[in-house]
Amino acid sequence: MTNDVLALKYRPKFFNEVTGQDLAVDMLSNSIKLNKIHHAYLFSGTRGVGKTTIARLFAKSLLCNEGISNTPCGKCNACIEIDKGNHLDLIEIDAASRTKVEDTRTLMENVQYSPTSSRFKIYLIDEVHMLSDKSFNALLKTIEEPPEHVKFLLATTEPDKLPETVLSRCLHFKLNQVDFGVIASHLKNILEKENIEYDNESLDLISKNAKGSLRDSLSILEQCISYCNGSLDINKIKTLMGHIDEEIIQNIILKVIHKSPEDLISIIEGIQNSISFEKLLDSIIDILYKLSLYKINPKIKDNFFDNDEFYNLTTKNISSQDLQLFYQIAISAKKDIPLTPNQKDYFSMIMLRMIYFFDDDASDTDNVNSVPDNSKGIDFDWNKIIDQLNISGITLELARHCVLIKKDDDNFSLMIDQKKQDIFPKSCLSDFFKILNNFFKKEYKYEVIYQENLKTPDYIQKEKMKTENNIIYNKASKDPNINNIKEIFGSDIDKKSIKKIKDVEG
């Protein structure tokens, strides 16, 4: 193995060496073949997926001394200089460090001058979203009507921060995160070229931790090679990656499904604080996704699950709807993990939230008369509004466990069931308020109040079902045929299992 950094040593020098971005490469290659060269291109995507690399390869295709081609020679002065990063007519700019409008104006003033030694002068602006508004205005004037010899290649991780006026003038290539299987195959090829021992389990773990970034996977691989003293050892890599045993993850999910909060907390407390609970949540999300797929197609089981016992216990005790809700709770909560002072405590709250969303304790709703009618003052049908909001998952759960009361022309009180306190994150409440304001077409202010025994839509529905079941049960108890069956078999009616069957026409 050489001392070269792997991410630099194996950086693609030609389009056919790019990994995981076939669509973008094919489109660029075809545009070159057809001589359809635009004046401005935008490459967007998460870090390490190949934005700047593909932009440089495109520049090489345009500046090669042998002519414009999707397969540049790689041997001429232009190709060699681009590979080394010192070609005079490929001007690379880091927008993060040159945000001032004066910097942009100076660059744009030089646009009018002809290339030094090539057919084009190419500006490659990385992290272009970091430019100030005034800088964008200065850039826009040139992008609108650039000289024939000028091309712009823009790269960004946040295209939504670019003004529409700039976006509309660029050919936009959205680069996807690289599939972990593609990353694993790429790492395997590199390790074989470097004569480094490896095992497939190590490659899979490194690839998953890269989270779709090819560059990150090479950086992680470099760390693992050093930590394992020149080879890959799965046990050492698990330690380095903060990997949590699969059995612990599966037990956490089982405790959630079986509504065992005490056992759940006991398992979580036994996990070392040095572990990344963000990665643990990612693992939970991954398993919930796989279980959801199994619900759609049972044959998919063999592709995902090594532990048949876990698979059997899980899928028999949870519905597809519950899996969807758990998945959304985890996804919604994940973005707040970096903000919390204690990741373990926050992770515990996320898992408890899944349990308590479905903590249907009938004892709290036995006495209808004890529940105050909080719907007074509402000048609309809250149930009908919920149906019209077109919401799902955790937002729908919030709507069904609250009562909305209009205080005056500018203010609402959002009264939430006391049992659901601390279940809904602030981001969920904030999103819900935006949805309501969009529905009402007015910017209202909201006061959040937690109260016991609310007549929420969820409560009303359960009471309606209980009433219907009581009526059906009473009728069934008086039916002579059913009483004969009860007497013959020594059985009784299971009141909880009674379900109303919809009438079928025709």
> What CATH number is attached to the domain comprising 410?
3.30.300
> What CATH number is attached to the domain comprising 323?
1.20.272.10
Report the distance separating Cα 320 and Cα 293, nearest Å: 9
Count how many Cα atoms sit within 13 Å of the Cα of residue 48 in the half-sphere of its side chain: 18
Contact between 254 and 310 under an 8 Å Cβ cutoff? The reply is yes
**Is residue 328 located within the same domain as residue 397?**
no
**Is residue 25 located within the same domain as residue 144?**
yes
**Is residue 22 located within the same domain as residue 148?**
yes
pLDDT at 504: 42
The values of phi and psi at residue 468, to 5°, are -60, -40
pLDDT at 283: 87
**Is residue 31 located within the same domain as residue 158?**
yes
**Is residue 352 located within the same domain as residue 403?**
no
> What CATH number is attached to the domain comprising 47?
3.40.50.300
In this structure, the strands spanning 171-174 and 150-156 are unpaired
Of 117, 143, 174, which residue constitutes the final position of a domain? 174
**Is residue 168 located within the same domain as residue 284?**
no
DSSP state of 490: T
pLDDT at 485: 61
Domain total of the chain: 4
Residues of the domain holding 299: 246-356
**Is residue 32 located within the same domain as residue 154?**
yes
Report the distance separating Cα 379 and Cα 459, nearest Å: 20
**Is residue 327 located within the same domain as residue 380?**
no
Domain membership of residue 348 (yes or no) is yes
pLDDT at 467: 75
The values of phi and psi at residue 347, to 5°, are -60, -40
pLDDT at 481: 63
Query: Does residue 56 surpass a pLDDT of 90?
Result: yes
Angle (deg, nearest 10), helices 457-478 and 382-389? 110
Written as six digits, the tokens of 161 are: 């921060």
Query: Does residue 209 surpass a pLDDT of 70?
Result: yes
Q: Summarize pLDDT for 112-151 with one digit per residue, the tens.
A: 788 888 899 999 999 888 887 888 887 887 888 888 898 9
**Is residue 217 located within the same domain as residue 260?**
no
Query: Does residue 428 surpass a pLDDT of 90?
Result: no
- Provide mean pLDDT across the span 245-251: 85
Angle (deg, nearest 10), helices 457-478 and 480-489? 80
pTM reported for the whole predicted model: 0.62
> What CATH number is attached to the domain comprising 209?
1.10.8.60
Cα dihedral sign, 347-348-354-356: negative
- Provide mean pLDDT across the span 291-317: 68
Domain membership of residue 269 (yes or no) is yes
Q: Over pLDDT 90: what percentage of the chain?
A: 24
Domain membership of residue 202 (yes or no) is yes
504 in helix, strand or coil? coil
Query: Does residue 397 surpass a pLDDT of 80?
Result: yes
Report the distance separating Cα 181 and Cα 473, nearest Å: 56
Written as six digits, the tokens of 326 are: 């758990």
Report the distance separating Cα 411 and Cα 255, nearest Å: 41
Cα dihedral sign, 14-16-21-24: positive
Q: How confident is the model at residue 503 (pLDDT cuts 50, 70, 90)?
A: very low
Domain membership of residue 347 (yes or no) is yes
Cα dihedral sign, 463-469-473-474: positive
Of 142, 174, 206, which residue constitutes the final position of a domain? 174
Domain membership of residue 47 (yes or no) is yes
Strongest mean pLDDT among 141-155, 175-189, 279-293, 357-371: 175-189
Q: In what order do the strands lie in the sheet with 171-174?
A: 90-94, 121-126, 150-156, 40-44, 171-174
Contact between 157 and 52 under an 8 Å Cβ cutoff? The reply is no
In this structure, the strands spanning 411-417 and 402-406 are antiparallel
Domain membership of residue 1 (yes or no) is no
Which strand (E) or helix (H) includes residue 43?
strand 40-44
Written as six digits, the tokens of 215 are: 């560059």
Written as six digits, the tokens of 115 are: 């290339």
**Is residue 291 located within the same domain as residue 383?**
no
Domain membership of residue 339 (yes or no) is yes
Chain-centre distance of CA 298, in angstroms?
A: 25
Domain membership of residue 380 (yes or no) is yes
**Is residue 414 located within the same domain as residue 501?**
yes
Contact between 405 and 415 under an 8 Å Cβ cutoff? The reply is yes
Report the distance separating Cα 73 and Cα 309, nearest Å: 57
Of 191, 214, 241, which residue constitutes the final position of a domain? 241
Cα dihedral sign, 77-83-85-88: positive
**Is residue 18 located within the same domain as residue 156?**
yes
Report the distance separating Cα 495 and Cα 204, nearest Å: 50
Strongest mean pLDDT among 164-178, 314-328, 404-418, 448-462: 164-178
